[in-house]
Structure 1
Amino acid sequence: MRTTTAFFLSTLVSAVALMALAPPALAQRAGVTSKPLLRTSLSGDSTKESVLIAIEFSPGATTGRHSHPGDEYAAVLQGTLELRLEGQPPRRVTAGEAYHNPQGVVHETINVGETVAKTVATFVVEKNKPVVVPAP
């Protein structure tokens, strides 16, 4: 009985922790899925953490306009994305390329290709802050 209870509790705690890691604004957009891979304290700065997330975009899918309370560094693993940062011309990035979205800059990422696009993104944010902030 104790083993069953311990297993149930550890499974429940793991599920709740994973839900807390998921960036809500990305997870709620149709055609965009995110999978949290790692959340860890930043070395040398106990007030910040690094969050690593795998993101998939269906063809035509968009993140919608949003920003981040910290810097985003991402690598495109598959497909073609268009980055639309406020105040800058649109820029396309393809598999094998990387990009940076600065803290607080409103932007949108769109899969402009005909296949699924995949990225891995690292966000450097203050601890216990959301990773994604929807733009008004």
Structure 2
Amino acid sequence: MDDTSADPHDALAGTLKRTEVQHHSSSIPGREIVQVLTEIPVGVQSGWHTHPGEEVGYIVEGTVEMKIAHSPTLELHAGDGFLIPPDTPHNALDLGPGTGHMLSTYVVKIGEPIASFVESPEN
């Protein structure tokens, strides 16, 4: 497993601890599959961002508030899964009591950044 903190293709790596678990070609033309374990300290937000493809996630540990543009806010607990559609702004906040851990699998366009920061749609 590699820590992606130095990966310029992952804007979130400078904010959160993100460890790439695996990275492979996909059977879907023009797509690749990237799996990442993200650690979010209590009270820390990911910041509003998007991905160039689907994010299929699972809360391994903790409680996370997930805001997704144009959708109701979710409160996710260990054992909960979630899906973020492609190019959809979203923001995760760890509610505690400890560090949250999320395992996310991205099915994304080849050659594009895994995550890109965007303006809050709430402004």
Fold shared by both chains (TM-score > 0.5): yes
What is the count of residue pairs matched by the alignment? 117
Structure 1 residues 113, 28: closer, same or farther in 2, change over 3 A?
same
Matched, 1:67 2:63: no
Change (3 A) 1:96 1:23: farther
Secondary structure of 1:64's match? coil
Q: Give the residue type in structure 2 aligned to 1:89.
A: P
Tell me which residue corresponds to 1:40. Answer: 24
Mapping of 1:1-136 within 5 angstroms? Answer: 19-20=6-7, 24-29=10-15, 32-43=16-27, 45-136=28-119
Q: Per-residue deviation at 1:18?
A: 8.4
Taking only the aligned residue pairs, the percentage that are identical comes to 24
Structure number with the higher helix fraction is 1
Which structure has the larger Rg? 1
Matched with 1:11 is: none
Amino acid at match of 2:24: T
Secondary structure in structure 1 of the residue aligned to 2:105: strand
Distance 1:46 1:87, change over 3 A: closer
Structure 2: any 5+ residue segments left out of the alignment? none
TM-score of the superposed pair, with normalisation by structure 1: 0.79
- Checking the alignment, whether the CA contact within 8 Å between 1:23 and 1:34 is kept in structure 2 is no
Q: Which has the higher contact order (CA 8 A, sep 6+)?
A: 2
Q: Which segments of structure 1 move beyond 3 Å, counting only runs of 4 or more? A: 17-20
Partner SS, residue 30 of structure 2: strand
